[in-house]
Structure 1
């Protein structure tokens, strides 16, 4: 399948893939948890500040293209979302981990991928990562990753995903472009809006964990309500036997 997604859609898919592999007990994801995952400051590059409307619009497009499903889990009153990257290709766990990191953090070296993928899959060395990169660059199967031109002064090549339009120049520092370091750039807006700082990371992660915990509690309460209702019905039926 030919896939070419905008940055918000790539971020959503990356977050869903990440959650499935790192905390499967909290997957599929609710809308609130998904928004927090998209906007969190850690493990994200660029950092985004997406609104609920922007995420919902992107989710609708992904659902239209069968890349995301909206599901209802047993005992839950909240709609949740799961990715359907199988629509693109049958990726292995190792391939999914590498793609996920590239989707969430942008171009990276083999060493960076090895270290950052550890929370999803632990590679034993950069050679193993390179092997997986090679499989993701196989023309017969589909090319999902490419090697970027080596930057001046850097020894290791970097790799980027091909699930959407990328511009290698976007990842260069001003000095790498031959510009002065104090060159001003227009602030992105709309779907590509990013937050330059990485502050309040711990606070945001704490809020995300609390919301996830509250959602789990709501599901448990819903199950308890059903159990209580069933017991009440059994009690009424038992009582009628003596009337």
Structure 2
């Protein structure tokens, strides 16, 4: 496994799958750990994702196998469901606070963002007291050994710097998606979060119905 400053270097697929698990652990705990079906839906959300992707279940399965070999995810069994479910081990592997994990997961799923954008987008995962707290935490993450994030140069006319995660190395061009990369118009924060939550819940309900149908047959 390749490392930059002792961080594992992850593929785009690994970043998306891991980030989705990290997000859903906080935003939809009733449906976590996650099955392959619900995790695939989470990866392919058209909201709260940049860029939007269209992974099939085989891609997600192969990516989970890779993440498991790296110790970043594990399986969970038991309960009424016979389906294998998956959970992330990010906070176990890296000694970070829940608020820091929330920021990194947002960078995993949405690409480079300013402290203001992260503060706006973090509400369902962690409630920061103010923008200064977000900025201070990003500075800490950039100065940790190893560093987890790095600041990008300011865009022309932009007051805030954007930050990106270092789990894909220093290749900022690969992470710096344009604003219209998803091909969709921006959605207001509250509506966007609700749509994402409903997509995840719908996938979970579908799984339960399929399991019930297979038992009846």
Q: TM-score range by the shorter chain?
A: 0.7 to 0.9
| Alignment CA distance shift 1:204-1:132 (3 Å) | closer
- Alignment-derived partner of residue 197 in structure 1: 183
One of 84, 103, 115 as aligned partner of 2:120: 115
- Alignment-derived partner of residue 212 in structure 1: 204
| Alignment CA distance shift 1:51-1:173 (3 Å) | closer
CA RMSD of aligned residues (A): 2.9
Whether 1:36 and 2:41 are equivalent positions in the alignment is yes
Q: Distance in 2 between matches of 1:149 and 1:17?
A: 27
Matches within 5 A, 1:3-18: 3-18=8-23
- Alignment-derived partner of residue 147 in structure 1: 151
SS at match of 2:123: helix
- Tell which deviates more after alignment, 206-215 or 24-33: 206-215
Residue segments in structure 2 that go unaligned for 5+ positions in a row: 1-5, 186-191
Q: Tell me by how many angstroms 1:203 deviates.
A: 8.2
Q: Tell me by how many angstroms 1:136 deviates.
A: 1.2
Q: Distance in 2 between matches of 1:66 and 1:39?
A: 23
- Alignment-derived partner of residue 168 in structure 2: 164
> How many pairs were matched up?
201
- Alignment-derived partner of residue 100 in structure 2: 95
Residue segments in structure 1 that go unaligned for 5+ positions in a row: 175-194, 226-243
- Alignment-derived partner of residue 72 in structure 1: 77
SS at match of 1:40: coil
Q: Distance in 2 between matches of 1:46 and 1:167?
A: 16
Whether the aligned pair in 2 keeps the contact of 1:76 and 1:218 (CA below 8 Å) is no
Whether the aligned pair in 2 keeps the contact of 1:3 and 1:88 (CA below 8 Å) is no
**Residue deviations 1:154-197, cap 9 Å, x none?**
221100011113533352659xxxxxxxxxxxxxxxxxxxx843
TM-score normalized by the length of structure 1: 0.73
Q: Tell me by how many angstroms 1:76 deviates.
A: 1.4
Q: Once superposed, which parts of structure 1, at least 4 consecutive aligned residues long, lie more than 4 Å away?
A: 201-207, 216-219
One of 9, 19, 22 as aligned partner of 2:24: 19
SS at match of 2:40: helix
Q: Distance in 2 between matches of 1:17 and 1:172?
A: 21
SS at match of 2:21: helix
Q: Distance in 1 between matches of 2:76 and 2:63?
A: 16
| Alignment CA distance shift 1:203-1:161 (3 Å) | closer
One of 122, 130, 136 as aligned partner of 1:125: 130
Q: Distance in 2 between matches of 1:14 and 1:103?
A: 5
Whether the aligned pair in 1 keeps the contact of 2:50 and 2:177 (CA below 8 Å) is no
> Which of 1 and 2 has greater Rg?
1
